[in-house]
Chain A
Amino acid sequence: MVKAIEATGLPIVHMCTIVPISKTVGANRIVPTVAIPYPLGNPELDPKDEKELRRKLVRKALKALETPVTEQTVFS
């Protein structure tokens, strides 16, 4: 799905936990996330800290979209 969208020329960032899968399927901008059942959160944290964690990850994703890449790049 990532690839089919990118093939139309739209930059896309893949936020996912299992980076090797993302690499295998061919995402070019990858942001590693927290865990499979909660990629963009962490139920262990209190809600305020959890939201801050999510904010940071999404900012990282936006940064990735602004970054020119020539090959598969993991933004960790």
Chain B
Amino acid sequence: MTKKRIVHYINQFFAGIGGEEKADVKPEKRDGVVGPGMAFKGQLNDVAEIVGTVICGDSYFNENEAEASETVLEMIKSYDPDLVIVGPSFNAGRYGVAAGAVAKLVDENLHLPVVGGMYPENPGFELYRKHGYFVEVGNSAATMRKAIPAMSSVAKQIIDGNKEITGYMPKGLRENVFREERGSKRAVEMLVDKIQGKEFATEYPMPTFDRVDPAPAVKDITKARIALVSSGGPVPKGNPDHIESSSASKYGKYSLKDIDDFTPENGQTAHGGYDPVYANEDLDRVLPVDVIKEMLANGEIGSLHDYWYATVGNGTSVANAKKFGTEIAGQLKKDGVDAVILTST
């Protein structure tokens, strides 16, 4: 078998040119291995050869991205590679972003696989994760000895033509696949395995969520200004903003001035995915306007924000939900709101 051709991209530091003071060096290429390439060579010698190394200063790449990209891409191309390795760039931010950008260049222009190594919090990973197989490595070059075999293993799997490659951080891409068994059967089998304490592999890993510290309590609710927000899709009859029934791209802001009680004539839900009959009959079941107005009248709450905010939580991306929340909170704070009731269906 002829050995596959690999090009390795590294920064000025790992090329031995210099540290921060040399971070503005322009791209250059050298035949064969440089720096950490030597260790990759040791791991991959049976199946591949590092035919060339492309080097660029981290500051130069980031400050002159268009120019640097063009030159680096030409240099990589000149070696006619089958695979490109970038880094590892650990938790070095500019190096990570440059290595990620190179992965994207190679992916989009040369359509070749790229293997990289980054600390998961390196911004280069988040930005360019879908353009390469990025292996999780430590946060400093002190972990180089671990990083090299892990990255080499992924490179080998690619070279061997493995269908399922393991050992890298998810690219965040979804791919359609056909399975022999239908979903319901697979789900039940998974559940049975789980109950029996056997190993099972989820087909849809849950995203990890960050946490927010609880805000301080309201001292006296009878003096507080309250606002109503909902992800259950409560909107004025006719859904004037055309909020989508799923995967909502927006939220609505609606006046509470003329509504003391929802009826089938003045309110409805825009939410898909649940039976809307009960909400359309009486939207107070989703957004308790009737009782909150009553509580306002009898002094159980201090005052009420003049608007309610509504979106549809059905399949809405975390990024959108976060954006809506931040924007809504900004408007609430401006109006002196003290506390929020958010209802969900």
Known: A5-B229, A8-B326, A70-B214. A15 touches B342 (CB 8 A): yes
Known: A26-B212, A69-B217. A41 touches B285 (CB 8 A): yes
Shortest Cβ distance from residue B160 to the other chain A in the assembled complex, whole angstroms: 39
Shortest Cβ distance from residue A5 to the other chain B in the assembled complex, whole angstroms: 4
Given the complex of chains A and B, what is the CA–CA distance between A31 and B329 in angstroms? 20
Q: Which residues of B contact A14 (CB under 8 A)?
A: 342, 344
Assess the B214–A40 pair: CB atoms within 8 A: no
Shortest Cβ distance from residue B58 to the other chain A in the assembled complex, whole angstroms: 33
Given the complex of chains A and B, what is the CA–CA distance between A8 and B218 in angstroms? 15
Q: Which residues of B contact A26 (CB under 8 A)?
A: 209-212
Q: Which residues of A contact B301 (CB under 8 A)?
A: 62
Q: Which of B217, B220, B286, B294 contacts A39 (CB 8 A)?
A: B286
Q: Is A74 an interface residue (CB 8 A)?
A: no
Assess the B274–A36 pair: CB atoms within 8 A: yes
Q: Is B53 an interface residue (CB 8 A)?
A: no
Given the complex of chains A and B, what is the CA–CA distance between A61 and B276 in angstroms? 24
Identify the interface centre among A2, A5, A37: most chain B CB within 10 Å of its CB.
Answer: A5
Q: Which of A2, A13, A39, A55 contacts B232 (CB 8 A)?
A: A39
Q: Which of A5, A40, A63 contacts B329 (CB 8 A)?
A: A5
Interface string of B120-151 (1 = CB under 8 A from A): 00000000000000000000000000000000
Shortest Cβ distance from residue A17 to the other chain B in the assembled complex, whole angstroms: 7
Q: Which of B220, B231, B286 contacts A1 (CB 8 A)?
A: B231
Q: Which residues of B contact A36 (CB under 8 A)?
A: 274, 345
Q: Which of B284, B322, B341 contacts A13 (CB 8 A)?
A: B341
Q: Is B277 an interface residue (CB 8 A)?
A: yes
Given the complex of chains A and B, what is the CA–CA distance between A11 and B340 in angstroms? 6
Q: Which of B232-252 contact A (CB under 8 A)?
A: 232
Known: A11-B340, A41-B282. A65 touches B324 (CB 8 A): no
Shortest Cβ distance from residue A9 to the other chain B in the assembled complex, whole angstroms: 5
Q: Which of A42-76 contact B (CB under 8 A)?
A: 43, 51, 54-55, 57-59, 61-63, 65-71, 73
Assess the B337–A10 pair: CB atoms within 8 A: yes
Q: Contact residue range for chain A?
A: 35 or more
Given the complex of chains A and B, what is the CA–CA distance between A65 and B232 in angstroms? 21
Q: Contact residue range for chain B?
A: 35 or more
Given the complex of chains A and B, what is the CA–CA distance between A5 and B321 in angstroms? 10
Q: Which of A2, A39, A62 contacts B285 (CB 8 A)?
A: A39
Given the complex of chains A and B, what is the CA–CA distance between A69 and B217 in angstroms? 8
Q: Which residues of A contact B163 (CB under 8 A)?
A: none
Q: Is B311 an interface residue (CB 8 A)?
A: yes
Shortest Cβ distance from residue A57 to the other chain B in the assembled complex, whole angstroms: 7
Q: Which of B217, B329, B333, B343 contacts A68 (CB 8 A)?
A: B217
Given the complex of chains A and B, what is the CA–CA distance between A73 and B341 in angstroms? 15
Assess the B332–A10 pair: CB atoms within 8 A: yes
Q: Which residues of B contact A10 (CB under 8 A)?
A: 215, 329, 332-333, 337-340
Q: Which residues of B contact A63 (CB under 8 A)?
A: 221
Given the complex of chains A and B, what is the CA–CA distance between A53 and B286 in angstroms? 13
Known: A25-B209, A62-B221. A39 touches B343 (CB 8 A): yes
Which residues of chain B have a CB within 8 Å of any CB of chain A? 206, 209-221, 224, 226, 229, 231-232, 274-279, 281-282, 284-288, 290-292, 294-295, 300-301, 311, 313, 321-326, 328-330, 332-333, 337-345
27 A-B contact pairs sorted by A residue (CB < 8 Å): A1-B311, A1-B321, A1-B342, A3-B210, A3-B211, A4-B324, A5-B325, A7-B325, A7-B329, A8-B333, A10-B337, A11-B218, A12-B342, A14-B342, A14-B344, A15-B342, A18-B344, A38-B285, A39-B232, A40-B286, A43-B278, A58-B292, A62-B295, A65-B339, A66-B217, A66-B218, A67-B217
Closest 4 CB pairs of A and B: A4-B325, A41-B285, A28-B214, A1-B325
Extra 18 A-B pairs, beta carbons < 8 Å, given A4-B324, A40-B287, A58-B295: A1-B229, A2-B325, A3-B211, A3-B325, A6-B214, A8-B326, A10-B333, A10-B338, A11-B214, A11-B215, A12-B341, A13-B339, A15-B343, A17-B344, A26-B209, A37-B345, A57-B288, A73-B214
